[in-house]
Amino acid sequence: MLRTRKAEFRMDLKLESRAGILLATAAGQASLTETVELGKNVCSAAAKRGLRKVLLDCLAVEGELSVTERFILGKTIVEYCVTRSIAVKVAIIGNPPSVTGLAAEVAWNRGMMIQTFSERQTAVDWLNGTSSKATAT
C-alpha cells in the first residue's frame, strides 16, 4: 500500500501488474489533495513499470468532490502526465457520488485517453480496444 508522508492521508492504493495492465485499487475517503496524489502515483507507477494501460478501481472510494475540485483534478493529472511525458490509457471503475466522470471528461478534453465505467469487464474491454465506448460517462 502506498501512503503519502502526511499522517492525515485517508486513501489507500494497491498496485499490481496483470496482463500488461496496471491494476490500481483505491479505497478510503476522497478529497482533492488525496485524489490528486493518488492520480499522480498511479500514472508514475505505470510509467516506471513500462505499462501504458491502467485500470483504476475506485469502487471502495467514499466521499464526493465538488464540481470545481473535479475540474482541478482532471486538469492537474493531465498537466502532471504531459510534463513528465507519461502517456497512459486509463479506465476508471466507480459509481456516483465518488466517481461521476467529470474529472475524466476534463482530462479527455485535454488529450488524455481516459474513461469512466461502472463495470470492470467493460473497462477492460475498452483498455484492450474491444469496446466502442468513445466518450466519458
Per residue in 23-33, pLDDT (tens digit) is 999 999 999 99
How far is the CA of 118 from the CAs of 8, 122, 127, in angstroms?
Answer: 29, 8, 14
* Cα–Cα–Cα angle for 127, 46, 74, rounded to 5 degrees: 70
Q: Percentage of the chain surpassing pLDDT 70?
A: 89
Cell of 2: 502506498
Mean pLDDT of 54-80: 98
Mean pLDDT of 115-135: 87
Mean pLDDT of 10-33: 96
Q: What is the pLDDT of residue 128?
A: 95
- Structural domain including 108 reads 11-127
Cα gap 79→83, rounded to integer Å: 6
pTM score, whole prediction? 0.89
5 within a domain of the structure (yes/no): no
The CATH number of residue 85's host domain is: 3.30.750.24
Please state which of the ranges 5-9, 42-46, 64-68, 90-94 shows the lowest mean pLDDT: 5-9
pLDDT confidence bin for 133, thresholds 50/70/90: low
114 vs 3, more confident: 114
